[in-house]
C-alpha cells in the first residue's frame, strides 16, 4: 500500500464515521464523548484500585445511558438548528 492508498483509506474511514455520527442525537453524542474520555483515562488517570473501580462503574453507567438513548425516540438530531 502506497501513501495515496493509505490516505484514501483514512479518508474513507473518517467519512464512514461522520455518516454514522450524523444520526445521533446531541444527548447520545455527549454520552459517547464522555464514555470515550473515561475509557482513555486508564492510561492517564490515577492508578489506585479505588479510582479504577470508580472508573469502571462510570463506564458501565455511561454504557447503559448510551443504550437507553439509542433506543428512545429521537429528540433533535445533532447539528440541527431547531
**74 with 22: CB under 8 angstroms?**
no
3-class DSSP assignment, residue 9: helix
Q: Which residues pair with 77 in a beta bridge?
A: 25
- pLDDT band for 60, please (50, 70, 90 cuts): very high
Q: Which residues pair with 25 in a beta bridge?
A: 77
User: What are the residue boundaries of the structural domains of the chain, listed by start?
Assistant: 25-72
pLDDT in tens, 4-48: 555 555 445 444 444 455 567 888 899 999 999 988 888 888 889
pTM for this entry = 0.55
**80 with 29: CB under 8 angstroms?**
no
Amino acid at each position: 500500500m502506497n501513501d495515496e492508498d493509505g490516505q484514501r483509506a483514512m479518508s474513507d474511514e473518517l467519512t464512514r464515521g461522520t455518516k454514522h455520527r450524523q444520526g445521533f442525537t446531541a444527548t447520545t453524542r455527549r454520552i459517547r464523548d464522555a464514555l470515550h474520555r473515561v475509557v482513555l483515562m486508564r492510561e492517564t488517570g490515577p492508578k489506585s484500585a479505588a479510582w479504577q473501580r470508580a472508573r469502571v462503574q462510570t463506564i458501565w453507567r455511561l454504557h447503559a445511558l448510551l443504550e437507553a438513548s439509542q433506543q428512545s425516540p429521537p429528540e433533535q438530531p445533532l447539528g440541527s438548528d431547531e
